[in-house]
Amino acid sequence: MKKLVAMYLLMAIALCTLMLSPLSVAAEKKLTIAFSQSTMNHPWRVSLTNDMIYWAEKMGVDLIWNEGQNDAARQLTCVEDLIAKKPDALIMTPLQSKALTPVKELCEKAKIPLIVVDREIVAEPGQGMYVSFIGEDQVEEGRQAAKLLVTKLTEKYGKPKGNVVEIQGTIGASPTIDRKKGFEEVIGRYPDIKLVATQSGDFLRGNAMSIMENYLQRFPKGQIDAVFAHNDEMGLGALQAIKAAGRTEMVGWICSIDGQRDALKAVLDGELLIVVQNPPYFGELGIKTALAYLKGEKVPARQWLQFKAFSADTPESRKTTQEYYNYLVANDLMY
Amino acid sequence: MGMQWLILCAVVIVGTVLSRGVFIAPTNLINILRQSADVGVLAVGQTLAIMVAGIDLSVGSLLALSSVVAATLMRDGHGIVAPMLIAVTTCLLFGGITGLSTGFARIPPFISTLAMMGIARGAAYTYARGQPVYNLPKEFLAVGRGSIGPIPVQVVVWLVIVLAVLILLERSRWGRYILMVGGNEEASRLAGVNVGRVKLLVFAVSGLTAGVAGIIVTSRLNMGAPFLGMFMELDSITAVVLGGTSLNGGEGSVLGTVAGVILLGMMNNLMNILNVNPFFQQAVKGAIMLAAVYLNITRRRTVVQ
């Protein structure tokens, strides 16, 4: 009896799974593009995937995709599954560079053009089936955050001077390394601007909030001037800690990176100093590049996604920020 | 007095000296309590699970589920109280399912809660469509940010839960049953204890505390999100072990767990304040943990001898 019930249950589950998975009925000759996402555990990743789906539909190609559940070995398996379906092209955003480099070999064997977005693999794009790399200059993002901060500190003290605390992203992750590098490169030119503390908040709002609470204990009023958070979630967490502690002198002295909607709102409200965009929108350029290559056109080996910086420092910058914020609200987008 | 309280005192003294007094400031101590309340609430349920010689790996995922359920319902304008109740009840029911599968289907808790860890996380992601929920009602933020006198609200919630479970353990027959089942499951079965029901109770309570912790985190962050609470099950287990509860079950103390949670919170706070290199922090934490548990074990051995 028990076995029977178990069997029925299994059959029911199998049936449901079948019904939920889109049965690929052989339709008219439409191009199929495969997309391998590394993880869906962050809204930024979810937005990237949604953007891929959006542009695939808009450009009339079939998109098959899966995700590696934040595990490089798992993503490799997922890529193999995708390749087994013989897509016309593969777009991948690797979890880690080295671990997913074998994908290039897989694509060479299967003769499927590969486009890598966001993070790189250890191979030169533009050779063999590795058609193109589309990235973002995260070092430049760090630089831009620092530049406005230097200007503001100079306004405050009459010369470039001040103490900055940093809340890093996940230690060892490439965005952390690059953003820190760019920020420190600019700050390093001014000996009187000092990075007085740096801790890792793992890109999470709650961690950053705790770290900021602890910073505020260690540095009483007047001892620190600004915060550099490696992403908006952490910038907003720091802001909450600052407000809760009543340290109003720090409000409006936070720099962060990513460009998410409520961070832009905080910029407009004068609570964040600058938010540098790190858009997840690889869909359009990624799929266009794939289609261009399949048509036999020549595509650039390396391409960079454009990004904006949002502040409310000048009337023009406020206008840009307001417009982009309105656009996000109107389209119900996160970034 | 347990070894964990002595270690706690040692950390306080060392911390105060190293930080030139910043660490011991009342505002900082309140900070530590505020930052520890979420793990503290989770760890109460975890203590019970470990006392019955089990473990609950699902608490971090249940926290996320509670968070997205409460936040979504609040955003959609269903008030504050109803969403909180629904979220906590959902987690209680999910914990109950774990309890049934552990207590009656006799699936080992490591497996049943590992399964629930996946189920609840998946449910949270599906329910929230992978995205966080922002802009929660202003009145709700009082849970995670307000305070009663000098004591933050979430710390009061934590205390109430600790007291409730203390009463359950000390004043009701369930408390005895939990220790009996943890000590020797077969013997307690023969003695007429309904082992299945005891486990059902334990995992349901653990689900409930995870639900409450989810509400606290959501309010503190002003955000409900399906990715919250990752690895918090490990933090809660660490706190329980630091608090002197044996992973073999059959013994343990909720107050010890409170000390363990505070110890963890103090270590994080102190390392921030002293600006310990982030690369090095995890190693420091690991080393302190090893030392604390070792001291606990040697002390227990001497007591037995």
**Rg of the Cα trace of chain A?**
23
B92 token code pair: 């209680």
d(CA A132, CA A115): 5
Q: Determine whether A227 is exposed, middle or buried from the number of CB atoms within 10 Å of its CB (0-12, 13-18, 19+).
A: buried
pLDDT of residue B290: 86
Instruction: Please answer yes or no on whether A217 and B34 come within 8 Å at the CB atom.
Output: no
pLDDT of residue A158: 96
- Contact yes or no for A93/A38 (Cβ under 8 A): yes
A321 token code pair: 């920020």
Say yes or no: ipTM exceeds 0.90.
no
Q: Determine whether A73 is exposed, middle or buried from the number of CB atoms within 10 Å of its CB (0-12, 13-18, 19+).
A: exposed
Those residues with Cβ within 8 angstroms of residue A157's Cβ, 6 or more apart along the chain or in another chain = none
d(CA A309, CA A298): 31
More confident site: A22 or B227? B227
Residue closest to A50 by CA, chosen among B55, B304, B12, B129: B129
Q: Is B12 helix (H, G, I), strand (E, B) or coil?
A: helix
How confident is the model over A68-123, as pLDDT tens digits?
988 888 999 999 999 999 999 999 999 988 889 999 999 999 999 999 999 989 99
Which residue reads 């005895």 in tokens? B176
Task: Please report, rounded to a whole number, the percentage of residues in chain A having pLDDT higher than 70.
Answer: 92
Distances in Å between the alpha carbon of A253 and those of A152, A239, A261, A271?
Answer: 9, 9, 18, 7
Choose the closest CB to B223 out of A171, A205, A213: A205
Instruction: Please answer yes or no on whether A244 and B145 come within 8 Å at the CB atom.
Output: yes
Nearest 5°: the CA angle A234, A238, A241 is 140
CB < 8 Å to B220, chain A:
206, 209
pLDDT of residue A20: 58
Those residues with Cβ within 8 angstroms of residue B134's Cβ, 6 or more apart along the chain or in another chain = A262, B222, B223
Q: Which pTM value belongs to this model?
A: 0.83
Residuewise pLDDT in 10s, chain B (305 residues): 577 788 888 889 989 999 888 899 998 999 999 999 999 999 999 999 999 999 999 999 999 999 999 999 999 999 999 999 999 999 999 999 999 999 999 999 999 999 999 999 999 999 998 888 988 999 998 888 888 988 999 999 999 999 999 999 999 999 999 999 999 999 999 999 999 999 999 999 999 999 999 999 999 988 999 999 998 999 999 999 989 888 888 888 999 999 999 999 999 899 888 888 888 888 888 887 788 788 777 777 776 66
Instruction: Please answer yes or no on whether A213 and B31 come within 8 Å at the CB atom.
Output: yes
Chains A–B, number of C-beta pairs less than 8 Å apart = 64
Q: Tell me if chain A has a CB within 8 Å of the CB of B278.
A: yes
How confident is the model over A261-309, as pLDDT tens digits?
999 999 999 999 999 999 999 999 999 999 999 999 999 999 999 999 9
pLDDT of residue A25: 45
The DSSP line for B109-178 is HHHHHHHHHHHHHHHHHHHHTT--B----GGGGHHHH-EETTEEHHHHHHHHHHHHHHHHHHHSHHHHHH
- Contact yes or no for A272/A325 (Cβ under 8 A): no
pLDDT at A28 over 60: no
Largest Cα span, chain B:
61
* Buried/exposed B27-58: b ≥16 CB within 10 Å, e otherwise: ebbbbbbbbbbbbbbbbbbbbbbbbbbbbbbb
Instruction: Please answer yes or no on whether A211 and B272 come within 8 Å at the CB atom.
Output: yes
Dihedrals φ, ψ of A164, to 5°?
-120, 140
More confident site: A141 or A42? A141
CB < 8 Å to B281, chain A:
200
pLDDT at A24 over 60: no
Q: Which residue of A has its CA nearest to B125?
A: A41
Q: Which residue of A has its CA nearest to B122?
A: A41
Those residues with Cβ within 8 angstroms of residue A7's Cβ, 6 or more apart along the chain or in another chain = none
Dihedrals φ, ψ of A29, to 5°?
-65, 90
Which residue reads 């359950």 in tokens? B168
Choose the closest CB to B272 out of A206, A214, A334: A214
pLDDT of residue A12: 66
Q: Which residue of A has its CA nearest to B34?
A: A210
